[in-house]
Structure formats: C-alpha cells, structure tokens
Amino acid sequence: MAQRNLNFRVGGKMYILAFDTTAGNCSIALLQDGRPVSVFAQTMDFGQAEVLIPQIKIMLEEQNLRFSDLGLIAVCDGPGSFTGVRASVSAARAFSLSCPDIPVAGVSAFDAYLMDLQGAELAARNLVIIETKREDFYFQIFDEAGAKITDPAAGTREDILELLKGGRKVSVIGDGAERFLYSPTGLSLHCIKMPTGVDIRNVAYCALNQYQNKRINFPKPLYLRAPDVCIK
C-alpha cells in the first residue's frame, strides 16, 4: 500500500474528524489543531448510519470546510453492537476510498477509554470494561504504562476477576464499571471511573497519536462474539 500523506494541512491548520456509532450512540467531533470546534452527540439504538453522514456535512459547512480539507479521520471501530460497529467502519472505509489522500485511523473503544486514566490514576493493572447488556462484559487489561496485558475479549465477571487476582492495585474504567463493581470484588481498587460512553474527543486524540507516530491503524471491525442472528 502506498504511503499516505501525513502532513496534510489547510491554511496551516490541522483538521480532524472523529466519529463513533458503536454503542447506542452517534457521536461526532471536529477538531482544529487538537482543539474541538464542533461536537455532536445523540443517543440512539438504531438509525446511526442515516444520521452520521448528513450531520458530518452540517458540521463541515458550519466551519466553512470541505471534506477534502480534513487532515485526518478517526473512527471508533468497536467493540459494540454489530450494527453500530458496521456503520462506523463502513463509513470510514467509504471516506478512505473517496479521499485516498486523507489518512483514516481506527481506534478501539478500549484505547479511547484508557485515555481518561491519567498520571497517578493509572495502577499496576488497568481494567477497561464495556457493557454488553448481557451477563458478560467486553474487557481489556493494561499495565501502568498503558501497554496491553490482555487482548480484547468478552468474559464473565468471574473470568475477569481471575485474571486480576494477585493483590496488585487495579484501576477500573468504562461504561461497564458500575455493573462489574456492584458487589465486592476482593480487588485492591485504586481508581474508579464510570463514564456512560466513549468520549469522542479521545477517539480523535488516539488517532492523532497514531498520526504523529506514523503508525496508522486502518479501521477494521472489532467483533468479540458471533452475531445474534445469522441468515443463511
């Protein structure tokens, strides 16, 4: 694959478009030089694909920008609902095909959540836990430097507690944290954060890190289980 232009700017300004439809939501942010200039967020269980593209057009028009003015596109590529993940990734890939000079970066919800643990909030073990609205959770564990200890996975509360046993300090973050911590865990808890969803700005910042390190991850859907319904 040809190397993409990683120095694409308009009038000396770097514009980033970030969006996420993976978890019962449609969230979009437009950033200029790392600063949000327009943010849209709407809770919705379905219909994200119909809202996403028109809203992006509105946000660009409000800033007097064309799509080709963007320097970077960031998308949350899961995990989440199958429909939501597919909507996000399909849109990102369509943008990549229509504007091949604009780099498109895929960011996992785990990495986006982890950005909200800063400095002293990080522990020896950092659990990012995402609600599935089932008996299990989506989760990933990171060390104090933010390095991945486990791969993204789906597992029960008991599965996760088994991986975290050992007495090390544990920080917990994610929209699944409240249910995970509903009863005593036996863990040595350090920091707990219970956001209701991914901060779309963090998706942009994670993508910007990829951009600056020239290691952009092209979006691919992060599915951690088989679909509920299969049509043969």
Q: Residue 48 falls within a domain, yes or no?
A: yes
- Rounded to whole angstroms, the Cα distance separating 24 from 138 reads 15
Same domain, 48 and 94: yes
Same domain, 104 and 31: yes
pTM for the model: 0.92
Q: Residue 3 falls within a domain, yes or no?
A: no
| Furthest-apart CA atoms within the chain: distance in Å | 55
Tokens of 227: 């679909």
| Residue partners of 113: CB distance under 8 A and separation at least 6 | 128, 130, 173, 174, 195, 198, 202
CATH of the domain at 91: 3.30.420.40
Q: What are phi and psi of 66, to 5 degrees?
A: -100, 160
- Rounded to whole angstroms, the Cα distance separating 131 from 175 reads 6
- Rounded to whole angstroms, the Cα distance separating 219 from 152 reads 16
- Average pLDDT for consecutive 10-residue bins of the chain (232 residues)? 40 89 95 96 90 97 95 97 94 95 97 96 98 96 97 98 95 98 96 96 97 95 75 49
Strands 15-20 and 72-76: parallel
Amino acid at residue number 228: D
Amino acid at residue number 63: Q
Same domain, 160 and 122: yes
Same domain, 88 and 135: no
Provide the pLDDT for residue 5: 40
Q: Residue 225 falls within a domain, yes or no?
A: no
Exposure on the CB side of residue 59, measured as CA atoms within 13 A: 26
Q: Residue 9 falls within a domain, yes or no?
A: no
Q: Which long-range contacts (CB under 8 A, 24 or more apart) does 27-35 make?
A: 27/197, 27/198, 27/200, 28/52, 28/55, 28/56, 28/59, 28/200, 29/200, 29/201, 29/203, 29/204, 30/59, 30/60, 30/63, 30/65, 31/201, 31/204, 32/63, 34/204, 34/205, 34/208
Range of the domain at 144: 117-193
Q: At what angle do helices 82-98 and 48-62 cross, to 10 degrees?
A: 40
